[in-house]
Amino acid sequence: MTTLLPRVGVLLGGRSSEREVSLSSGRQVVFNLDRTRFTAVPLFMDGGGRLWRLPDKLVVQNTCADIEARLAADAERVAYESLPEIIDVAFIALHGKYGDDGCVQGMLELCGVPYTGSGVLAAALSLDKPMAHRLLSAHGFEVPREVVITAGAWAADRDGCVARIAAEVGAPLVVLPVREGSSVGVSVVADIEDIENGGNGTDAADGDSARGLVAAIDEALAWDTEALVETFLDGMEFSVIVLGTDDGGAEALLPTETVSPNPFMTYDDKYMPGRSQKITPARVDPATLNRMQREAERLFIAFGFKGYARLDGFLMADGRLLFTDPNSTSGMSPSSFMFHQAAEAGLTAGMVVERLLAQARIDHAAKRGPL
């Protein structure tokens, strides 16, 4: 008698600026599924939001463009409403807009397909940075000074926006799109003259990490309808993975310290070999390491995260701890924070994938309405 294995639909690709990161994450999930325990069903979301079931020969393609060039000939179109017929659970390896912002989670809820990670509300709150910061503040976490500049306000009164930023934030500062990840569209404005004059500043070595305020806001608004302007934090940058537990609690892994030659971790720093260092555990005393973990667990529960999350922030020289970027998902490339920290806890990549799938089944079995 043949026993049918649980079918895991691995969602990868997508419509966001992080689609190549998603492809890398999804590929690792597919390759780390124990084929004696699961059936892998790779599901590629193309730039138009359509789903395709991929054969293995397309999963190993280098880029999303490479895959899309071969979809019509080598892949099978999948209608959203047919997902319950071909998968038992979805492993969401999508990142950014339409991926970890509640959109695909809502679609899976309507289809009745359980999925890994957080539900609609927690995912949406975490990707919208100003909303995330409001929730952080409401739960007693310190957040940087910030101003949100809408595209409409910027077009109507740049001078007024600049004056408000100078008064409420000051310099140095960071400008970023409200709903992007992987440091896409992020710039640093180094000094007050760049704010007051609105000058173009001086680009950093990587071409986009430091510039004047006007250029920085224009760059951020090229990616979203709102730009977040916040105080530049000169501290130790870190990330901590938190895993959900069967009883609704949270378990923080050992935080990773990130070291970059730039004012912040750029896209290339995060994903290009040799551009930055990821040091796990972070080089702090045991008491501080423990405090970072306990505060990360408190944040996880406050946001209503499920399954897992990656929480980014800064440890300041005076000991203050600021979580600036809670993420409902994490990259899963071989050198990702997820697998760095899991290895320190004695977990292989395959064990992590299996744990997240098991937690998804528990979380969705216990829910009443959307997760």
Is 120 inside a domain boundary? no
Look at residues 231, 260, 282 and tell me which one is the last residue of a structural domain. 231
Task: Please report, to the nearest 10 degrees, the dihedral formed by the alpha carbons of residues 326, 247, 10, 3 taken in order.
Answer: 170
Instruction: Please give the Cα distance from 51 to 79 (Å, whole number).
Output: 7
What does pLDDT average to over the chain?
91
Instruction: Please give the Cα distance from 104 to 98 (Å, whole number).
Output: 6
- 143, pLDDT greater than 80: yes
> Do residues 170 and 254 both lie within one domain?
no
CATH of the domain at 22: 3.40.50.20
Q: What is the pLDDT of residues 21-35, one digit of tens each?
A: 999 999 999 999 999
> Do residues 82 and 165 both lie within one domain?
no
> Do residues 266 and 135 both lie within one domain?
yes
pLDDT at 131: 97
- Which of 306-310, 314-318, 332-336, 352-356 is predicted least confidently? 332-336
Is 303 inside a domain boundary? yes
Q: Which residue has the higher pLDDT, 265 or 347?
A: 347
Is residue 83 within 8 A of residue 9, CB to CB? The reply is yes
Share of the chain above pLDDT 70, in %: 89
> Do residues 133 and 249 both lie within one domain?
yes
Is 56 inside a domain boundary? yes
Is 371 inside a domain boundary? no
Cα first-last separation, the chain? 35
> Do residues 241 and 227 both lie within one domain?
no
Instruction: Please give the Cα distance from 219 to 109 (Å, whole number).
Output: 35
Is 24 inside a domain boundary? yes
Q: Which domain holds residue 324?
A: 125-141+234-365
Is 2 inside a domain boundary? no
Q: What is the pLDDT of residues 303-317, one digit of tens each?
A: 999 999 999 999 999
Q: What is the pLDDT of residues 257-316, one digit of tens each?
A: 998 766 655 545 554 555 568 899 999 999 999 999 999 999 999 999 999 999 999 999
Instruction: Please give the Cα distance from 351 to 347 (Å, whole number).
Output: 6
> Do residues 99 and 28 both lie within one domain?
yes
Which residue carries 């901590």 as its tokens? 240
> Do residues 74 and 183 both lie within one domain?
no
- The CA–CA distances, whole Å, from 194 to 108, 135, 176, 202, 210 equal 46, 31, 16, 10, 11
Q: What is the pLDDT of residues 38-79, one digit of tens each?
A: 999 999 999 999 999 999 999 999 999 999 999 999 999 999
> Do residues 193 and 109 both lie within one domain?
no
> Do residues 203 and 241 both lie within one domain?
no
pLDDT at 195: 59
Count the domains in the chain.
3
| Mean of pLDDT values over 140-164 | 96
Instruction: Please give the Cα distance from 344 to 241 (Å, whole number).
Output: 12
- 236, pLDDT greater than 50: yes
Q: Which of the residue ranges 195-199, 297-301, 334-338 has the most confident prediction, judged by mean pLDDT?
A: 297-301
- 208, pLDDT greater than 50: no
Q: What is the DSSP letter of 112?
A: T
Is 370 inside a domain boundary? no
- 196, pLDDT greater than 60: no
Pairing of strands 7-13, 89-92: parallel
CATH of the domain at 134: 3.30.470.20
